Amino acid sequence: MIRDLAASPRVLEVTDLATQFKTPDGIVHAVNGVSFHVDQGETLGMVGESGCGKSVTVLSLLRLIPSPPGEILRGQADFLGVDLLKMSPDEIRRVRGGQIAMVFQDPMTSFNPVLTMGRQLTEPLELHLGMTGKQAEERAAELLQMVGIPNAADRLKDYPHQFSGGMRQRVMIAMALSCSPQILIADEPTTALDVTIQAQIIELVKRLRDEIGMAIIWITHDLGIIAGLADRVVVMYGGYIIEHAPVKELYANPLHPYTIGLLGSLPRLDQQKERLTSIEGMPPILLEEPKYCPFAPRCVNVHERCRQENPPLLSVAPQHEVACWVDVRTGRLRV
Amino acid sequence: MEPAVQVLPQESIPNGKALLKVEGLVKHFPILRGVIQRSVGAVRAVDGITFDVTAGETFGLVGESGCGKSTAGRTILQLYRPTAGHVWFDGADLTTLKGDDLRRMRRHMQMIFQDPYASLNPRMMISDIVGEPLLVHKTLPRQEIPGRVRELLHLVGLSPTLANRYPHEFSGGQRQRIGVARALALQPRLIICDEPISALDVSIQAQVINLLEDLQNRFNLTYIFIAHDLSMVRHISDRVAVMYLGILVELADRDEIYLNPLHPYSQALLSAVPVADPLVEEHRRRVILEGDVPSPINPPSGCRFRTRCPIAQERCAQEVPEWRELRPDHWVACHFAEGGGII
């Protein structure tokens, strides 16, 4: 599948987004100025380990950060000409679940356990699309059928606990897509699922993406999923985007030592590695204000400059940006 | 400086011979209802599995959640008493041992648990956690325990100066190292690793896996590695067994099972694992299984996989497929394994 990246209109442009949390231990610098965009119909993979800021980034966009303790410090999020971060609570509520929908990691806690699935599915339809109860119910049954749930009309009367994990995630996706969103944000939607069920869900999302043509932001720590699903990838570390490239370019020529380390630390199903290359040390503690490269303490290529100044995300090849002072191919500083 | 770690006692079973024999192992958990706690059924978590583990090898046990792989591990160690079957370790049938006899055998078999947050007592210092097995089994005079604990911490890559800290002061990866140190304390021959890395971040997983491999080479350990991450199991194992709904469906050498899976379930499972390479993913054929794993309370008749199997026939509902060695050292339980399956 080849997508012409230049031709699709931009649906979301995020610039210099920064979010902090005030905690008793100090200020957690969760997201420290990230910029990225998504075009219509494309899938952006957002990769990183726990605590790298990927979830906080998208929750900030939808203004779902509890405040206090959270605070969006600065940034813009241009969604079809409007800044999401400047919308009134009423306006953003209309966007959320409507034009921008989200699927969360845990399919059990994302539903209200005391309401039937039908009630939860029809609510956004009535709210965002102004359907009547009967219309909404018919549409809800259609949606369940679309995501491959048998006896859809009967199952609307069931409660969340009567569905299996994979089924719940399907309903979650049906709910997210019910109002034909421009953007679907999926935050580790398959992490809690078994691999055969994960394959079902990914297959389903790919099919629906091609049918509906929405943009997807898929957040995960799994570089395997991203390889088969995304068009472009941003890699996050310590609250920064440290690398950004089209998916094939990123896997073929990773330029940030962290991305290289991450790919090296993965065992492959289709080949036998003698030994995994591990990244020594631990992910950064976000309580310290970042003044230098967040990866410097774990980096094998570290130079003096890395401990003094934080490298900006710079374009180093066509469509390939990296935030690193060092050119990993030569081991020397970039000039 | 390398600490002077005692060399293991001369093993009674040399490498390459079976250290552990599991024979028809069954574990059912009764479902109790009502005031008199009448048994109304059973969760048939492990329903008759048979395999050998060779001394010095890593035996991978894979399957999806609820397939019984963790229960199998715990039943082998007699943490759960089996409903039926035998477990022979170093010539002794563990299922017949009790009390002190069993405790003496337990020294040689240890376990590393999945959740590094739940498996360490938060009120105990690291030195006590790692030293506890030595105290319980009285393998060392009491005054030598602190020194041994420092050696063990050093072995797993932790600074011995951390011995007087509590678990909450450590990250997930460090806690798993503490779990490894505790498992090593008694110089066991067999360690059952139950999903030892699934709670850890990707970059930390490789650290722990490399540590386990180094320790295996150094101390001639035998591992049973239980996991759902098939890529990692391929990386670390010598032989791999695939479990589905309480039984083994396939068992073979690592490369054999990954290159030539014979059971439709293994084939589907392997095809579902994403590979971190867009060029490979572009051309992969994926077998998407329909539906979910049935309940182990009432598993399907005949072949347990038949309700999701794309090539199931009449016969699969009636006859339980025989566990047979279709190729040398390649075992499979499927009536139609000769037909090439679903790939």
Span B103-159, pLDDT tens digits: 889 899 999 998 888 889 999 999 999 999 999 988 889 999 999 999 999 999 999
Task: Give the model's pLDDT for residue B12.
Answer: 62
Q: CA dihedral defined by A52, A54, A59, A60, rounded to 10 degrees?
A: 70
Task: Give the model's pLDDT for residue B2.
Answer: 43
List of chain A residues whose C-beta atoms are within 8 Å of the C-beta of residue B205: 265
Query: Is residue A321 classed as helix, strand or coil in its secondary structure?
Result: strand
Task: Give the model's pLDDT for residue A173.
Answer: 86
Query: Residue A169 pLDDT > 90, yes or no?
Result: no
Give the DSSP letter of residue B143: G
How far, in Å, CA of B47 to CA of B25, rounded?
7
Among the partner-chain residues B173, B228, B292, the one whose CB lies closest to the CB of A164 is: B292
Mean pLDDT of the A256-278 span: 88
Among the partner-chain residues B209, B236, B274, the one whose CB lies closest to the CB of A228 is: B274
B-contacting residues in A 215-234 (Cβ below 8 Å): 221-228
Among the partner-chain residues B228, B277, B293, the one whose CB lies closest to the CB of A227 is: B277
Mean pLDDT of the B20-37 span: 92
Task: Give the model's pLDDT for residue B343.
Answer: 65
Query: Residue B11 pLDDT > 70, yes or no?
Result: no
Residue of B nearest to A265 (CA): B206
Query: Residue A203 pLDDT > 70, yes or no?
Result: yes
How far, in Å, CA of B111 to CA of B45, rounded?
19
Which residue from A18, A59, A331, A51 is spatially nearest to A217, judged by alpha carbons?
A59
* A195 interface with B at CB cutoff 8 Å: yes
Among the partner-chain residues B202, B269, B274, the one whose CB lies closest to the CB of A227 is: B274
State phi, psi for A195 to the nearest 5 degrees: -65, -35
Mean pLDDT of the A180-194 span: 87
Alpha helix positions (H), B31-168: 69-76, 99-106, 126-137, 145-155
Tell if the CB–CB gap between A195 and B213 is shorter than 8 Å.
no
State phi, psi for B12 to the nearest 5 degrees: -80, -25
- Cα distances from A318 to residues A249, A325, B152, B328, in angstroms, run 10, 18, 50, 52
* A52 interface with B at CB cutoff 8 Å: no
The answer to whether B203 and A238 are in contact (CB under 8 A) is: no
Paired tokens of B39: 């048994």
* A192 interface with B at CB cutoff 8 Å: no
List of chain A residues whose C-beta atoms are within 8 Å of the C-beta of residue B65: 194
The answer to whether B242 and B269 are in contact (CB under 8 A) is: yes
Query: Residue A17 pLDDT > 70, yes or no?
Result: yes
Question: Please, what is the average pLDDT of chain A?
Answer: 88
Give the DSSP letter of residue A67: T
List of chain A residues whose C-beta atoms are within 8 Å of the C-beta of residue B158: none
Residue of A nearest to B170 (CA): A282
| Distance (Å) from the alpha carbon of B206 to chain A's nearest alpha carbon | 5
Q: Return the amino acid letter for B19.
A: L
Give the DSSP letter of residue B9: P
User: In the sheet that B222-227 helps form, which strands lie side by side, from edge to edge?
Assistant: B109-112, B190-194, B222-227, B58-62, B239-244, B247-253, B330-332, B324-327
* A205 interface with B at CB cutoff 8 Å: no
Among the partner-chain residues A167, A252, A262, the one whose CB lies closest to the CB of B202 is: A262
Q: How many residue contacts between A and B have a Cβ separation below 8 Å? A: 130
pLDDT band for position A201 (cuts 50, 70, 90): confident
Residue of B nearest to A259 (CA): B203
Task: Give the model's pLDDT for residue B35.
Answer: 85
Q: CA dihedral defined by B176, B177, B182, B184, rounded to 10 degrees?
A: 120
Task: Give the model's pLDDT for residue B3.
Answer: 44
List of chain A residues whose C-beta atoms are within 8 Å of the C-beta of residue B289: 196, 199-200
List of chain B residues whose C-beta atoms are within 8 Å of the C-beta of residue A167: 292
Tell if the CB–CB gap between B255 and A272 is shorter than 8 Å.
yes
| Distance (Å) from the alpha carbon of B176 to chain A's nearest alpha carbon | 13
How far, in Å, CA of A264 to CA of A262, rounded?
5
How far, in Å, CA of B158 to CA of B162, rounded?
7
Q: How many CB atoms lie within 10 A of CB A43?
A: 23
How far, in Å, CA of A163 to CA of A156, rounded?
11
Tell if the CB–CB gap between B275 and A251 is shorter than 8 Å.
no
How far, in Å, CA of B336 to CA of A237, rounded?
49
Task: Give the model's pLDDT for residue B5.
Answer: 44
* Segment holding A150, helix H or strand E: none
* A108 interface with B at CB cutoff 8 Å: no
- Lowest average pLDDT, out of A91-95, A144-148, B152-156, B180-184, goes to A144-148
How far, in Å, CA of B49 to CA of B21, rounded?
11
Using alpha carbons only, give the angle A225, A231, A233 rounded to the nearest 5 degrees: 70
List of chain A residues whose C-beta atoms are within 8 Å of the C-beta of residue B276: 223-224, 226-227, 251, 263, 266, 268
Query: Residue B303 pLDDT > 60, yes or no?
Result: yes
Question: Which pTM was predicted?
Answer: 0.87
Token look-up 């390398």 returns: B2
Note the pLDDT tens digit of each residue in B219-245. Answer: 999 999 999 889 999 999 999 999 999
Would the CA dihedral through B152, B158, B160, B162 be positive or negative? negative
Mean pLDDT of the A279-292 span: 84
List of chain B residues whose C-beta atoms are within 8 Å of the C-beta of residue A203: 286, 288
The answer to whether A310 and A324 are in contact (CB under 8 A) is: no
Mean pLDDT of the A280-290 span: 83
How far, in Å, CA of A220 to CA of A24, rounded?
29
Paired tokens of B42: 């059973």
Would the CA dihedral through A249, A252, A253, A254 be positive or negative? positive
Residue of A nearest to B172 (CA): A282
Q: CA dihedral defined by B137, B143, B148, B149, rounded to 10 degrees?
A: 90
Using alpha carbons only, give the angle B184, B185, B190 rounded to the nearest 5 degrees: 40
Secondary-structure breakdown of chain B: helix, strand, coil percentages, each rounded to the nearest 5: 35, 25, 40
Query: Residue A2 pLDDT > 90, yes or no?
Result: no
Query: Is residue A145 classed as helix, strand or coil in its secondary structure?
Result: helix
B-contacting residues in A 235-274 (Cβ below 8 Å): 247-248, 251-252, 261-270, 272-273
Give percent of chain B with pLDDT exceeding 70: 96
Mutation site for A-interface testing, chosen from B177, B203, B281 by largest number of A Cβ within 10 Å: B203
List of chain B residues whose C-beta atoms are within 8 Å of the C-beta of residue A270: 275, 277, 280
Task: Give the model's pLDDT for residue B7.
Answer: 39
